[in-house]
Amino acid sequence: APASTTKLMTAVLALEHCQLTDEVTTSAHARSMGGSQVFLEEGEKQTVETMIKCIVVASGNDASVAMAEHIAGTESEFVSRMNQKAKELGMNDTKFEDCCGLTDSDGHYTTAADVAKMSRELIERFPQILNYSSIWMEEITQKGSKPFTLTNTNKLIRGYEGCVGLKTGSTSKAKYCVSAVAKKNDLTMLAVVMGAPDYKVRFADAASLFQYGFSSCSIYIDRERDPLPELSVVYGKQDTAELEYAEEFRYLTTGGTVIGEVEKTMELPEEVQAPIQKGECAGRVVYKADGEELGSVAILYGADVARAGMWDLFGCTMKQYFLGTA
């Protein structure tokens, strides 16, 4: 039983289908939710951004249901979309029956590995979620009431250096769960704990997983990339072609292995023939350490170069002739 880590999928769909400035209206059904709430009133309107804060910071069941109804019309239709998304993400051991995890139904289940998959989807596609999940306390203004203070249920935000989220959960059936995210030394780690006997154990176990992960892994990032030359072009309307890197090179080691000194070798032809299309591969940069190849990054053409026509070639020949006889 996943308890409120269920809300991670609700957040994925909310950010996938809505703008942060969209307004969400709370229904009587959403207002009636038990468990953890932010006490939304029937008819109350809040932005999607505020609702997401209510969901990930304070674990509001009422906010989750209001968000589900806003997107799909009914919670049941939204749950169908949650299950479809779970299939797309390869969450083969997951089935949702509500959007907030309040249910104790045996038909509502997942695994730590599947929680990690939807957590990764959330932080990779929508990294702004970490701006919300790292909030410790924040006030929101609600209809007909004084400002309501959201307080983060994830105590690792204050208890583990580098923790920036993500979501806790607890019910009598699920016990205590957490999907936590921490950042250190250019690495982002996910730690998922489910079924812990109390809230202290779930946080202690997640912290232990982080310690293991950060001590076992290191990453090399090529932030000082060598400048690329312009490549000589034959039969082109331009004499040279611009080049660009396809991506930033990163190499992760695990098991406590330390990367040695990295050597870079650029593999490019001396010249190429036109026509050339922007984005085509021109060559690559190869990265090696201790004699072993770590990987490579493609070098792409940065602009089109059209093939020269007959008059272009004639003009070029005449230019070379007159320059040569000057």
Q: Name the residues annotated as catalytic.
A: 4, 7, 59
Tokens of 259: 């990367």
Tokens of 304: 């089109």
Whether the CB-CB separation of 26 and 62 falls below 8 Å is answered with yes
Q: d(Cα 254, Cα 236) in Å, to the nearest integer?
A: 47
CA atoms in the 13 A half-sphere facing the CB of 215: 6
First to last CA, the chain: 86
Residue 61 φ then ψ, to 5°: -65, -40
How many CB atoms are closer than 10 A to CB 255? Answer: 6
| Identity of the residue numbered 76 | S
Q: d(Cα 146, Cα 41) in Å, to the nearest integer?
A: 13
- Which residues neighbour 250 within 8 Å (Cβ) at sequence distance 6 or greater? 219, 220, 221, 222
DSSP for 238-292? SSEE-EEESS--EEEE-TTPPP--EEEEEE--SEEESPB-TT-EEEEEEEEETTE
Q: d(Cα 21, Cα 48) in Å, to the nearest integer?
A: 6
